[in-house]
Amino acid sequence: MRLFVALDIEEAIQQRLSAYVCELKPRVSGVRFVNNANFHVTLKFLGEVASPEEVTQRLRQIEHAPVALNFRGAGFFPNPRAPRIFWAGMEAPLLADLAKKVDTALSGMGFAAEKEYHPHLTLARSGSGRPRPYPGERSPEGFQQLARLVDGSAAPEFGTMTAHEFYLYESRLAPGGAIYTKLERFALGGTDPIR
């Protein structure tokens, strides 16, 4: 099965993100926006996994404090001149640390180690949807329009939350967009989030 590790978003933030997307949607064409129900913050993408049990067992060993997140700003990967992924940004100093622990817990299982963690929440994708383009894959006109709109407006504020858990998700590819299912929950310990 195709797996990834991610944080879930609180309802209030999900609603603000979806209101922001709803304002942009009618003003651009040909952009594949992510279904609201699919909003998440990826910690690590695993791809096809033969032994999900071992992944679960290893992720259970992780000890980490709850993670405070302040969702603000929006931008593009790889950059606003050749945009392919449209994302909402976040300030979350502890998130890279948690992503590193996930990476370390799963090391030796054959997953590519993350070179650098860029925390983001994907709002829209173009083309293959892969973080890196296929050779020759171009940024579509709709995405260029979107980049002009976003660059010309104030950074949006989506609110703050504290993540007390993270999840192992399954992603099933479907014609109408990927279907994500939570397989396992992992608690983030301690009483107070470290900011």
Which residues in the 109-128 window bind ligand 2AM by CB under 6 A? Answer: 122
β partners of residue 168? 5, 184
- Candidate list 10, 15, 36, 45; residue touching ligand 2AM; CB under 6 A: 45
Instruction: Kindly state the smallest distance separating residue 116's Cβ from ligand 2AM, in Å.
Output: 13
Residue 130 touching ligand 2AM (CB under 6 A): yes
Q: With DSSP H G I counted as helix, E B as strand and the rest as coil, what are the percentages for the chain, rounded to 5?
A: 25, 35, 40
Angle at 12 between CA 194 and CA 85, to 5 degrees: 85
Whether residue 64 lies in the annotated active site? no
- Taking residues 82 to 111 in sequence order and writing x for each that binds ligand 2AM by CB under 6 A, - otherwise, the string is ---x--------------------------
Whether residue 164 lies in the annotated active site? no
Question: Helices 11-24 and 141-151: crossing angle, nearest 10°?
Answer: 110
Rounded CA-CA distance 160/16 in Å is: 11
Q: Which residues are catalytic?
A: 40, 120
Q: Which residues bind ligand 2AM (CB under 6 A)?
A: 4, 42, 45, 85, 122, 130-131, 171
